[in-house]
């Protein structure tokens, strides 16, 4: 296991890489240092052939409280604020463009940029007791960057209620509105997350990469362009060795042997 001082722990086992935010004293706040460390990790594992799925979680009482308000208060000038928020946005884009599926494993609170991180991940699962919020309006700092990720997962009026009131929502409601995939009792969360991660890890790395990239690109396209684009992607996918192997394995009623090519 590689340990980055004070902020992150990472490990890889059977194709599943774990990134653990480890700064419980700040409720795993997304400081400059934390954001930089996370970006480094996601870049590394995106290109790591041993990694097939990435799980991110927070240690201590909860997932993440968002930006470090003490750090924000100490910053001087709009240029420094912009550096921080741009760095946070860079992390989110690193997750979206990551070659590997990213799963958020959430307990406790995921607030502000922490909620943004959950919304950005490809999949998200939580404990039944987990809570989510975009509470910036309560301290005079509207959650403008978190709303980018949240509004792309949650219907407009439900997103606006979260943003305008700052009120936390529970895991049951977060599932209903599409912020997370599912929630489980605390004792089952690890098992359920690994069940999904292991299932994904059995697929072709190459096919998963193509599919994830296409998914996010087509979301921003008009319907006709999305179909033209994805038709080309399907053709490219069909030319892969793994597509030919997968179809043959299905017809022959056997498990496919992926070459990731």
For the cut 80, the answer to whether the pLDDT of residue 6 exceeds it is no
* pLDDT (tens digit per residue) in 106-145: 999 999 999 999 999 999 999 999 999 999 999 999 999 9
Task: Enumerate the domain spans of the chain.
Answer: 2-201, 205-251
Contact 117, 110 (CB under 8 A): yes
Tell me, which fold does domain 205-251 have in CATH?
Answer: Lyase 2-enoyl-coa Hydratase; Chain  A, domain 2 (1.10.12)
* pLDDT (tens digit per residue) in 37-61: 999 999 999 999 999 999 999 999 9
CATH of span 2-201: 3.90.226.10
* pLDDT (tens digit per residue) in 200-243: 999 999 999 999 999 999 999 999 999 999 999 999 999 999 99
Q: pLDDT value at position 10? A: 86
pLDDT band at 4 (very low <50, low <70, confident <90, very high): low
Of 183, 31, 200, 217, residue with least CA distance to 108:
183
Contact 133, 162 (CB under 8 A): yes
| C-alpha 173: how far from chain center | 19
Percentage of the chain modeled with pLDDT above 70? 98
For the cut 90, the answer to whether the pLDDT of residue 96 exceeds it is yes
pLDDT band at 1 (very low <50, low <70, confident <90, very high): very low
Q: pLDDT value at position 35? A: 96
- The CA distances from residue 11 to 15, 51, 124, 212, in Å, are 10, 10, 19, 23
Write down the pTM of the prediction: 0.94
Regarding predicted confidence, which is higher, 229 or 9?
229
Q: pLDDT value at position 213? A: 96
pLDDT band at 3 (very low <50, low <70, confident <90, very high): low
Q: pLDDT value at position 40? A: 94
Distance CA 62, CA 89 (A): 22
Distance CA 172, CA 177 (A): 9
| Mean pLDDT of all residues belonging to the chain | 95
DSSP letters, 29-77, are ---HHHHHHHHHHHHHHHT-TT-SEEEEEE-TT-SB--S-HHHHHH--S
For the cut 60, the answer to whether the pLDDT of residue 64 exceeds it is yes
């Amino acid at each position: 296991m590689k340990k980055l001082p004070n902020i992150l722990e990472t490990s890889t086992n059977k194709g599943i890489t774990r990134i653990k935010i480890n700064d419980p004293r700040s409720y795993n706040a997304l400081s400059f240092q934390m954001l930089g460390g996370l970006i480094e990790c996601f870049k590394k594992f995106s290109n790591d052939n041993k990694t097939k799925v990435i799980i991110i979680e927070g240690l201590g009482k909860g997932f993440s409280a968002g930006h470090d308000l003490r750090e924000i208060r100490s910053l001087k000038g709009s240029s420094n604020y912009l550096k921080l928020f741009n760095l946070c946005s860079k992390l989110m884009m690193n997750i979206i463009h990551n070659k590997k599926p990213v799963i958020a494993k959430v307990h406790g609170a995921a607030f502000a940029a922490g909620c943004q991180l959950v919304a950005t991940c490809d999949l998200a699962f939580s404990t039944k007791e987990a809570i989510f919020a975009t509470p910036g309006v309560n301290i005079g700092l509207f959650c403008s960057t978190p709303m980018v990720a949240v509004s792309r997962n949650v219907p407009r009026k439900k997103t606006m209620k979260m943003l305008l009131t700052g009120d936390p929502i529970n895991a049951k409601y977060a599932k209903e509105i599409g912020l997370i995939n599912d929630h489980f009792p605390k004792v089952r969360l690890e098992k359920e997350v690994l069940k999904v991660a292991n299932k994904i890890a059995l697929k072709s790395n190459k096919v998963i990469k193509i599919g994830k990239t296409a998914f996010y690109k087509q979301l921003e396209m008009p319907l006709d362009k999305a179909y033209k684009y994805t038709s080309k992607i399907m053709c490219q996918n069909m030319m892969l060795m793994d597509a030919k192997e997968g179809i043959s394995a299905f017809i022959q009623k056997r498990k496919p042997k992926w070459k990731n090519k």
